[in-house]
């Protein structure tokens, strides 16, 4: 059974603080993703990684950075948190696609989410 965990379920931070959101998967998946989920906007891809030390921008990378030093761990970093980054953050992982696409066309397994409030 695939397990994707996120370091916190709830976080409260102040504007300007540096925030780290950690995601760990235990299935040796090559690909990992960070999304944010906002009411009425669905899921929006922030960044993804298809290999260790590799990262690609998604649709809304501004204000975020990521780190993938180890295969099982993908970190989302808010260098200077702002109130418009208050959201639910979802991490996901998936196995490598045989099709060669960097965004794999395989099932994504999601973590439980981190609800971040920036004051």
Partner 1 sequence: GENVEQHPSTLSVQEGDSAVIKCTYSDSASNYFPWYKQELGKRPQLIIDIRSNVGEKKDQRIAVTLNKTAKHFSLHITETQPEDSAVYFCAASSFNWVNRDDKIIFGKGTRLHILP
Paired strand residues for 23: 6, 74
Minimum CB separation from partner 1 for residue 49, in Å?
12
> What mask of x and - would describe binding to partner 1 in positions 24 to 53, judged by CB under 8 A?
-----------x----xxxxxx--------
54 sits near partner 1 (criterion: CB under 8 A): no
Binding residues with partner 1: total (CB under 8 A): 22
Minimum CB separation from partner 1 for residue 4, in Å?
8
User: How many other β-carbons are positioned within 10 Å of the β-carbon of residue 100?
Assistant: 7
Minimum CB separation from partner 1 for residue 32, in Å?
13
User: Under a CB-based contact definition with an 8 Å cutoff, are residues 23 and 34 in contact?
Assistant: yes
7 sits near partner 1 (criterion: CB under 8 A): no
Which of these, 70, 86, 81, 94, lies nearest to 22 by C-alpha position?
70
List b or e across 65-95, with b for residues whose CB sees 16 or more CB atoms inside 10 angstroms: ebbbeebbebbbbbeebeeebbbebbbbbbb
Minimum CB separation from partner 1 for residue 97, in Å?
9
71 sits near partner 1 (criterion: CB under 8 A): no
């Amino acid at each position: 059974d695939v397990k994707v965990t996120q370091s916190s379920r709830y976080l409260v931070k102040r504007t300007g603080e540096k925030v780290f959101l950690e995601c760990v998967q235990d299935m040796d998946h090559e690909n990992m993703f960070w999304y944010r989920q906002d009411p009425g906007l669905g899921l929006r891809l922030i960044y993804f990684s298809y290999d260790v030390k590799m990262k690609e921008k998604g649709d809304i990378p501004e204000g975020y950075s990521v780190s993938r030093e180890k295969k099982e761990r993908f970190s989302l970093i808010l260098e200077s948190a702002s109130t418009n980054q208050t959201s639910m953050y979802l991490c996901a992982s998936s196995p490598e696609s045989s099709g060669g696409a960097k965004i794999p066309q395989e099932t994504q397994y999601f973590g439980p989410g981190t609800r971040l409030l920036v004051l």
